[in-house]
Chains A and B, each alone.
Chain A
Amino acid sequence: MEFTIFEFDFMRNALLAGLMVSFICGVMGTLAVANRLVFLSGGIAHAAYGGIGLAYLLRVPYLLGTLSFSLLAALTMAVVSMNAKHRADAVIGAIWAVGMALGIIFIDLAPGYPADLMSYLFGSILAVPVSDLWVMLGAAIAIAAVAWFYYADFLALSYDEEFARLRGVPVRKLYFLLVILLSVAVVLTIRVVGLILVIALLTIPPFIAEKFTRSLLGMMAWSCVLGAVFTTAGLVLSYYFNLTAGACIILAAGSGFFVALALERILHCPRAAHAHAAAPQQR
């Protein structure tokens, strides 16, 4: 098989978009998983549909409409879930559904042909414009800078929020910063795999990476690498078998997920047995 796939401009752009989104999802997905914000990320992704509809109705650029709408939804979810922690999931669920419904109504109201919904639901990585690539690069650099700069604070916040507060870490501000960056990550990832599949790219690499590292930094690094492998593999598969790219990427990630589960079983079995034997002495 000749490896001609990346001779096409759109394939090169798709690969670049995939790699940058892998990096963004590796860093932000790790923080989302560590802080149990996966459901909130799902809420952002689906509420973003309202933004997609609004952008379509008002004829403003996709990123502008979607990003501002998602930020609004995300901050609402963050404020409400902070003040009513035990009902956070219900609130997020409501905003999740309302966002989607608004998106559908906005598209109904828009004159002319209805938009191609499928491309937003499952991504349009093969049609990523060059301008979006620059936005992705900027977001990747900003996210890397913030994660590097506030690494110790994010680590403390994720591991033991109360202790972090006692040490003077501005927990509330960091939480909002996290939610804002998460919105950016989600909106950019929608471009690549679509809003339904964002969660997979955001959570599968960190979930696998967590099993094999001892630090949050390691988890981020491995998540980026795994994400890059999955997006590249998915792109290649979709090209040669003429399948939807977003779905191929997620299936590549999903296979990785099951392989990791199996590997963990095999690798950790002796240790689990050992821990079991040691337990009675401890108690």
Chain B
Amino acid sequence: MTDPIIEAHDLWFSYDGEAVLQDVDLRIAAGDFVAMIGPNGGGKTTLLKVLMGLLDPSRGSVRIFGRPPREVCRDMGYVPQHAAIASPFPISVLDVVLMGRLRPGAKWPTPSQAQRHAAIEVLTQLGVADMAERRIGDLSGGQRQRVLIARALVDRPRILFLDEPTAGIDSQGQMDLYCLLEQLNADMTIVMVSHDLLALSTHVKSVACVNRQLHYHNHPELTHDMMEIMYPHTPGQACPVELVAHGVPHRVLRKHT
């Protein structure tokens, strides 16, 4: 493992007195593609936000490139859950993407030609350049998702964080998305929160299992222990589940012993 670019040590986070994260230690190396999985309310999104510096941990520390996250915010791209953002807001696709180039300090309402050019370029890369002038609320869920990815990419981040990028996207859209992320992974580290076990099978390099505590593994493989921790009543008790990826015979669960 090369030097970690994301490091969290002894991380605790509580919300209204209840611990959401407990004693999390995490190291992510450059070039990794990590999927964070876990049950609802297990703290996946919270961990993502603590890593980006959007939430302050109640204890412990986060270092991104060896520095506090807020000092390196320009190296981080963030794709929030697209359904969480107000859709009737009057804003064009281009303006949403330009938001990704915001710098602290005063700005004027009209972006420079270079800014616009950069935004159009990344929209082209994502195949939605023809929608640049449209109102974002008029786009479909999948298109909106691409615009939010474009916004995260427009300032050329070194780490890309995504929160449930496949939620509400049809299966073809999900396949396209994973292919895109795989391409992007060539030059950037990706950390993705996902519910989607299929994603693990073919695309990601590591799985981090979050259920208050972190169970980190460096292989895209779900172990029986991980399943026990995440979904305490599913395997063993109900029925032994075996997940097989689409097309490629690739086990995500180890053979049942």
Contacts and interface: CB of A to CB of B under 8 A. Distances in A.
Interface of A: 34, 148-153, 155-156, 158-160, 162-170, 210, 213-219, 275, 278, 282-283
A51 B109 CA distance: 36
B241 to A, nearest CB: 26
Interface residues of B, number: 38
Contacts of A169: 102, 104
Contacts of B85: 159-160
Contact of A168 (B52, B73, B100, B140): B73
A219 B109 CA distance: 13
B96 A282 contact: no
Contact of A214 (B76, B86, B91): B91
6 contacts: A160-B85, A162-B49, A166-B53, A167-B102, A168-B73, A219-B90
B141 A215 contact: no
A218 B99 contact: no
A216 B110 CA distance: 12
Given A168-B73, A168-B102, A163 B90 contact: no
Interface of B: 49, 52-54, 70, 73-74, 76, 78, 80, 85-86, 88-92, 95-96, 98-100, 102-104, 106-109, 133-135, 138, 140-142, 151, 170
A215 B80 contact: no
Contact of B91 (A165, A166, A216): A216
A186 B133 CA distance: 34
Given A150-B106, A156-B99, A214-B133, A166 B89 contact: no
Contacts of A217: 109
Contact of A215 (B70, B74, B91): B91
B92 A155 contact: no
B9 to A, nearest CB: 22
Contacts of B96: 159
Contacts of B76: 166
A283 B170 contact: yes
Contacts of B141: 282
B104 A159 contact: no
Interface of A is mostly: helix
B142 to A, nearest CB: 7
Nearest to B88: A210
B99 A151 contact: no
Q: Which 6 residue pairs across A and B have the least CB separation, nearest first?
A: A152-B107, A168-B104, A167-B102, A151-B109, A282-B140, A214-B92
A150 B103 CA distance: 11
A153 B107 CA distance: 8
A255 B76 CA distance: 48
A278 B99 CA distance: 29
A163 B95 contact: no
A166 B54 contact: yes
A162 B54 contact: yes
B80 A160 contact: yes
A170 B104 CA distance: 8
Given A167-B102, A168-B102, A214-B133, A151 B73 contact: no
A34 B95 CA distance: 15
B103 A34 contact: no
Contacts of A275: 138
A165 B154 CA distance: 17
B170 A214 contact: no
Given A159-B96, A166-B76, A169-B102, A148 B91 contact: no
